[in-house]
Chain A
């Protein structure tokens, strides 16, 4: 089975509200996590990453929280805007062999209502 998954396939929020997108992972050996945003018709775009020696990291309007105890990752978007509407993927590292590989979750569709 997949080692990375998402609790909710869709999330609908009002413009200006905060959004929280959740992700569960099963590989306790993973030590790097990354969030991507994919807008319609585009490829995934890097948002923010976090290493396992941290439990929180902040970017511009985004915060990633890592709870290694329960193997849970979340992406918080403050003051959600219509331009934030997209599919959001989490990914964990899968460093088998000499390659730096990522294992991706299925994605959560975020819809921002005006």
Chain B
């Protein structure tokens, strides 16, 4: 276990649904990240939070809405997604001002 948990592990949703992904880290880190992992593509950084403040939005469509209520929790709210949004969504955390990121197991999302 890496100290980063994600729920749910699997999610199937229709294009008109609204759902949320949850990430929790038990490592005392102050930076948290959302990544998208699609087949045969590199990990794509979506959002970065430092001390609960969003410091990076990597041109992510507004149908993905992140929320970071505190340094230990990170959410990704999903609405009106497209089938091409189906992917593995990974959460990571790191100590502030370091590159070593610790990943959760991911949520496998399927949009139908």
Most chain B beta carbons < 10 A, residue from A41, A45, A99, A105: A99
Q: How far is the CA of A49 from the CA of B31 in the complex (A)?
A: 19
Interface magnitude class on chain B: 20 to 34
Contact A104 B42 (CB under 8 A): yes
Contact A41 B105 (CB under 8 A): yes
> Which of B11-19, B48-56, B59-67, B76-84 is near enough to bind chain A?
B48-56
Contact B42 A98 (CB under 8 A): no
Q: How far is the CA of A2 from the CA of B43 in the complex (A)?
A: 11
Contact B41 A106 (CB under 8 A): yes
Contact B105 A100 (CB under 8 A): no
Chain A contacts of B48 at CB under 8 A?
A: 99, 101
Contact B50 A34 (CB under 8 A): no
Q: A100-B97, A106-B40 are in contact. Are A43 and B45 (CB under 8 A)?
A: no
Contact A102 B55 (CB under 8 A): no
Contact B90 A43 (CB under 8 A): yes
A93 CB within 8 Å of chain B: yes
Chain B contacts of A2 at CB under 8 A?
A: 42
Chain B contacts of A34 at CB under 8 A?
A: 99-100
Chain B residues engaging chain A, CB cutoff 8 angstroms: 2, 4, 6, 31, 40-43, 45, 48, 50, 55-56, 90, 92, 94, 97-106
* Apart from A42-B105, A46-B101, A101-B48: 9 A-B pairs, beta carbons within 8 A: A34-B99, A43-B90, A43-B92, A43-B106, A44-B43, A46-B102, A49-B100, A100-B31, A106-B40
Q: How far is the CA of A88 from the CA of B57 in the complex (A)?
A: 26
Q: How far is the CA of A32 from the CA of B94 in the complex (A)?
A: 15
Query: Contact partner of B43 among A41, A46, A93, A104, CB < 8 A?
Result: A104
How far does the Cβ of B74 sit from chain A's closest Cβ, in whole Å? 14
Chain B contacts of A44 at CB under 8 A?
A: 43, 90, 103
